[in-house]
Chain A
Amino acid sequence: AQSVTQLDSQVPVFEEAPVELRCNYSSSVSVYLFWYVQYPNQGLQLLLKYLSGSTLVKGINGFEAEFKKSETSFHLTKPSAHMSDAAEYFCAVSHPGGSNYKLTFGKGTLLTVNP
């Protein structure tokens, strides 16, 4: 079975400070990895995804994430936070093979940006 752990339920940062949201996964097979963002009172939207190839993935709004298989991690980073980045962020995992393509989500990390 696969699982996702988002180590921080809330991460406060100052505007223009760097952001790191942590995600670790547990799986015995190869994985696809995703980060989703949820702005207040909205549904989730895809921020970026890792399927194969380059382990450094760039997404929208200046975010990027690096897949580190040896550490089973897929941390989300951004060099400089904007006020508009305040939202909840969800890491998710699925498997490229087999019969079950179900996405498994972490509990989410609330990013707050202070002026």
Chain B
Amino acid sequence: GAGVSQSPSNKVTEKGKDVELRCDPISGHTALYWYRQSLGQGLEFLIYFQGNSAPDKSGLPSDRFSAERTGGSVSTLTIQRTQQEDSAVYLCASSQGRERTTEAFFGQGTRLTVV
């Protein structure tokens, strides 16, 4: 596609359930980011994938959060045993990575509500 695609756009889940959020980056982009945006908290870095390198997981807030990127393209962010404080908008972005400018292109986000 022409841009970064995220699905679902909205997700309401019950506390304690697991959720999966999907990101389809721009074709050919080697770098992929996940960010969380909570009200009043700004943009919080979660995880960064760059090509075949080991991901930078330094932003994941707890071991309930994990992410993978299959075949260097699609990424899935998984939140296990969701808590109410996980409610936020989860943004995915991709960029061309090495040897290019590192401008990131963002998806529209997934709004997660934990009830």
Contacts and interface: CB of A to CB of B under 8 A. Distances in A.
Interface in B36-60: 41-43, 45, 48, 50, 53, 56
Interface residues on B, range: 20 to 34
A96 B33 CA distance: 17
A51 B104 CA distance: 14
A17 interface: no
A101 B91 contact: no
Given A34-B103, A43-B107, A101 B97 contact: yes
Nearest to A6: B42
Interface in A63-115: 90, 92, 94, 96, 99-108
B95 interface: yes
B26 interface: no
A102 B48 contact: yes
Interface residues on A, range: 20 to 34
B101 interface: yes
Contacts of B91: 43-44
Contact of A46 (B41, B45, B103): B103
A42 interface: yes
A107 B102 contact: no
